[in-house]
């Protein structure tokens, strides 16, 4: 077996162990080890990206590359058959971009943390734990494993915000923790429902002795098993229930009579139980995305978090939400995904507009950027809800590009905050005169974020808009006005960025008198160049050569949309009877 993915996940953990063993006073050593660990992770991520074959067809259930599958936990519960949890990781077009992004931002975050001097050891330990869990989240193909990493992200984040954060850090950290925990509890309910409903046909065949232990079952046998399951000829005690996400994507793996089976006929609040389950996981991931109206933790968390943590939060942690929707929610509940597409798209549009309007009203530069994140994440939802190839590709591209650009944006805010200990827009004017290089990077970041052609953000927005425009004909999802309204969101984002630029950076140099004593307004340092230059280059690179990522995602996305549309339509037809009762 190939251990590339495991090394990606556990390299930071290994580095964390080294940090743990280093004495507390060796601050430089601790920082160096962390940097080394993340650099190695980045190297493996790049190697993975280069080695990933984007042309191989992935149809949602198969086609994962670099797969590692090990039995982890297995126990039988009497007459209920076996339960099986696997260490199952793999990468496909949906996750490859996220993995690369995590590698890049992980290194940038460490460089940005270089001047942390309070409890250095604790900080970098938590940082490395966070990196492990985020990477694990993007690579896990077993729901339990995914959930483990998903929940484990909360803890390091809680402490990173709560200990190293700003004045209201305790409140922000708790709010973040509670919000996301509630979200993950929703996901937990559905996870329990799913794994008690789904069998692993291959493991069941092994359990029944149709094929030897550890011998892979042929495709025919798997089909045969699925038929037998649906006809009810497999004994309860032989069924091997599984957490495997690919197995959950196959409707034929659902046990007849289980509550989440399409034919179960169980309803709750006049909706089929599958739809309720969809709404629950959707809510769980929407909190993470975040989408209006469950976004309120984000501005608080961002404002209070230290700069590097804001960078991580915006650039990779938010992506877990969107990634979860693509990896789990839609393929497992394609019927509900199709049924609720207008609802999800509507939330996306609402986030775009509301986030942009809020950003327009903010005086705190960091809050402005936090709300712009909400607005941009709305595009992810809109693209996904369209269920067109362009839209979903756009959603993935948006996550990737926003990861690069938002990292830049928060770094840029950190630069001014480090110098003036303040980041109120109205407290500064004409900064361009004193900090020309800094202003140049701000301009690049702002323009990249508002979708100027040539930057990666433009490609993402273009794809999402194309997808949502064509959705009514292509897939029958989304009313057309949504795409139109989303364009207004683009205008608004231009407005808040340009207005902020004009107020803070242009005109005559002036800063608020009370800040003058403490503020040392100087241009960028070498360390800051080191962080901003690569990000700017990458944003440009992926803006000019979109095929760098699209070639990798394309086939997987095609597989995804086909799977969701086909299964969704079939299952919706079955559920019509309940829906129109």
Partner 1 sequence: MTYTLYRHVEEQAAYLTQAIDSILAGAGSLLPELLLAIFFLLLVTLDLFKSKTVKRLLPWVALTGLFSVLVLLVLDRHVAEVQFLNLLRSDGIARYAGILFSLTGIFTILLSLQNPKIEKRKQGEGRGEYYALILMLVLGLNLMAKSVNLLMVFLAIEVVSIASYILTLTLKEEKRAVEAGLKYVLYGTLSAGVMLYGMSFFYGLTGSLDYTLVSFWRSLLEASPLMVTVAAILVFAGFLFKISAAPFHFWTPDVYQGAPMPIVALFSTGPKMAGIIVILRFVAAFADPTIANAFSDVQLFLGIAALATLAVGNFTALWQRTPRRLMAFSSVSHAGFLLMALLAFGSDYTVSVLFYMTVLLFMNFGMFLFLQMAEDNWQVRTLEDFQGMGPRMPFAGIMALLYLLSLTGLPPLAGFMGKLLVFSNVWEAYTSTSQPMLLVLLVAGILLTGAALFYYIKIPYYLFLKRNQTNENLVISLSNKLLLVLFALPLLVFFFKPDLLLHWIEKLLA
Contact at 8 Å (CB) between 463 and 470? no
Site residues for partner 1, 260-279, by CB under 8 A, read 266
| Position among 166, 212, 216, 257 found at the interface with partner 1 (CB under 8 A) | 257
Based on the shown chain and the rule CB under 8 A, indicate whether residue 454 belongs to the binding site for partner 1.
no
**Cis status, amide bond into 293, omega within 30 of 0:** yes
CB of 148 to partner 1, least distance (A): 5
Residue closer to partner 1 by CB (options 173, 377) is 173
CB of 580 to partner 1, least distance (A): 23
CB of 21 to partner 1, least distance (A): 14
Size, binding site for partner 1 by CB under 8 A = 40
| Position among 57, 70, 192, 537 found at the interface with partner 1 (CB under 8 A) | 192
Based on the shown chain and the rule CB under 8 A, indicate whether residue 122 belongs to the binding site for partner 1.
yes
Based on the shown chain and the rule CB under 8 A, indicate whether residue 46 belongs to the binding site for partner 1.
no
Contact map string, positions 521 to 550, toward partner 1, x by CB under 8 A: ------------------------------
Spatial CB neighbours of 362, under 8 Å, sequence gap ≥ 6 = 368, 371, 425, 496
What's the CA gap between 476 and 28, in Å, rounded? 57
Site residues for partner 1, 92-121, by CB under 8 A, read 119
List Cα–Cα distances, 363 to 122, 426, 471, 505, in angstroms. Answer: 33, 7, 37, 14
| Position among 18, 188, 228, 474 found at the interface with partner 1 (CB under 8 A) | 188
| Position among 4, 132, 226, 258 found at the interface with partner 1 (CB under 8 A) | 258
Q: Where are the alpha helices (DSSP H) in 196-329?
A: 201-208, 219-231, 245-248, 273-288, 297-304, 307-312, 318-324
Residue closer to partner 1 by CB (options 170, 514) is 170
What's the CA gap between 372 and 355, in Å, rounded? 6
Based on the shown chain and the rule CB under 8 A, indicate whether residue 75 belongs to the binding site for partner 1.
yes
Ordered DSSP codes for 195-207:
HTTBB-HHHHHHH
Based on the shown chain and the rule CB under 8 A, indicate whether residue 402 belongs to the binding site for partner 1.
no
Q: What is the largest CA-CA distance in the chain?
A: 81
Contact at 8 Å (CB) between 189 and 232? no
Kind of pairing between the strands at 510-511 and 428-429:
antiparallel
CB of 142 to partner 1, least distance (A): 13
| Position among 189, 221, 357, 521 found at the interface with partner 1 (CB under 8 A) | 189
| Position among 43, 70, 77, 537 found at the interface with partner 1 (CB under 8 A) | 77
CB of 573 to partner 1, least distance (A): 24
Based on the shown chain and the rule CB under 8 A, indicate whether residue 578 belongs to the binding site for partner 1.
no
Sign for the pseudo-dihedral over CA of 163, 167, 170, 175: negative
What's the CA gap between 356 and 488, in Å, rounded? 10
Based on the shown chain and the rule CB under 8 A, indicate whether residue 74 belongs to the binding site for partner 1.
yes
Task: Give the end-to-end CA distance of the chain in Å, rounded to a whole number.
Answer: 51
Site residues for partner 1, 130-159, by CB under 8 A, read 147-148, 151-152, 154-155, 158-159
Residue closer to partner 1 by CB (options 189, 515) is 189
Q: Among 364, 352, 301, 357, which Cα is nearest to 500's?
A: 364
List Cα–Cα distances, 220 to 236, 322, 456, 559, in angstroms. Answer: 22, 34, 44, 21
What's the CA gap between 517 and 207, in Å, rounded? 74
Based on the shown chain and the rule CB under 8 A, indicate whether residue 70 belongs to the binding site for partner 1.
no
Based on the shown chain and the rule CB under 8 A, indicate whether residue 10 belongs to the binding site for partner 1.
no
For residue 114 the two structure tokens come to 């270089």
Please give the residue ranges that form the binding site for partner 1 (CB under 8 A). 73-80, 83, 119, 122, 147-148, 151-152, 154-155, 158-159, 162-163, 169-170, 173-174, 177-178, 181-182, 185, 188-189, 192-193, 195-196, 257-259, 266
């Amino acid at each position: 077996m190939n251990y590339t993915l495991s090394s990606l996940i556990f390299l930071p953990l290994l580095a964390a162990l080294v940090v743990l063993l280093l004495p507390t006073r060796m601050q430089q050593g601790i920082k160096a080890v962390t940097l080394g660990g993340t650099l190695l992770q980045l190297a493996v991520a790049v190697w993975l990206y280069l080695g990933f074959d984007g042309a191989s067809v992935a149809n949602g259930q198969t086609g994962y590359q670099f797969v590692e599958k090990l039995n982890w936990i297995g126990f039988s519960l009497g007459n209920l058959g076996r339960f099986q949890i696997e260490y199952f990781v793999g990468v496909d077009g949906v996750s490859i971009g996220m993995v690369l992004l995590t590698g890049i931002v992980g290194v940038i975050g460490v460089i940005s943390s270089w001047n942390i001097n309070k409890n250095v050891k604790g900080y970098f330990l938590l940082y490395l734990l966070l990196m492990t869990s985020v990477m694990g989240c993007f690579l896990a193909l077993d729901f339990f494993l995914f959930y483990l990493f998903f929940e484990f992200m909360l803890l390091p984040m809680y402490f990173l915000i709560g200990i190293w954060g700003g004045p209201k850090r305790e409140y922000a950290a708790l709010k973040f923790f509670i919000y996301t925990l509630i979200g993950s509890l929703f996901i937990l309910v559905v996870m329990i429902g799913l794994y008690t409903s789904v069998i692993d046909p291959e493991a069941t065949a092994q359990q029944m002795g149709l094929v030897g232990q550890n011998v892979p079952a042929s495709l025919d046998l798997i089909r045969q098993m699925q038929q037998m399951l649906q006809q009810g000829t497999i004994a309860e005690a032989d069924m091997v229930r599984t957490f495997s996400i690919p197995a959950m994507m196959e409707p034929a793996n659902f046990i007849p009579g289980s509550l989440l089976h399409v034919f179960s006929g169980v309803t709750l609040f006049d909706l089929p139980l599958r739809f309720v389950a969809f709404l629950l996981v959707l809510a769980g991931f929407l909190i993470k995305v975040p989408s209006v109206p469950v976004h309120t933790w984000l501005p608080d968390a961002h404002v209070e978090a230290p700069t590097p943590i804001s960078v991580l939060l915006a650039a990779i942690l938010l992506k877990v939400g969107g990634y979860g929707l693509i990896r789990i929610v839609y393929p497992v509940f394609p019927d509900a995904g199709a049924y609720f597409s207008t609802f999800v798209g509507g939330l996306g549009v609402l986030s775009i507009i509301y986030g942009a309007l809020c950003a327009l009203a903010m005086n705190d530069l960091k809050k402005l950027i936090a709300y712009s994140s909400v607005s941009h994440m709305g595009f992810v939802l809109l693209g996904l809800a369209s269920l067109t190839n362009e839209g979903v590709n756009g959603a993935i591209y948006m996550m990737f590009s926003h990861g690069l650009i938002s990292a830049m944006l928060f770094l840029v805010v950190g630069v001014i905050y480090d110098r003036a200990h303040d980041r109120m827009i109205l407290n500064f004017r004409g900064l361009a005169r004193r900090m020309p290089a800094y202003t140049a990077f701000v301009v690049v970041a702002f323009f990249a974020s508002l979708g100027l052609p040539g930057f990666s953000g433009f490609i993402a927005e273009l794809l999402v808009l194309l997808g949502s425009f064509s959705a009514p004909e292509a897939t029958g999802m989304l009313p057309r006005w949504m795409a139109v309204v989303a364009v207004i969101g683009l205008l608004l984002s231009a407005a808040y960025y340009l207005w902020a630029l004009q107020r803070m950076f242009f005109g005559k140099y002036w800063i608020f008198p009370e800040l003058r004593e403490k503020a040392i307004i100087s241009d960028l340092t070498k360390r800051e160049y080191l962080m901003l230059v690569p990000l700017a280059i990458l944003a440009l690179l992926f803006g000019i050569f979109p095929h760098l990522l699209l070639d990798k995602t394309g086939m997987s996305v095609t597989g995804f949309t086909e799977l969701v549309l086909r299964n969704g339509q079939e299952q919706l037809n079955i559920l019509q009877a309940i829906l129109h009762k």
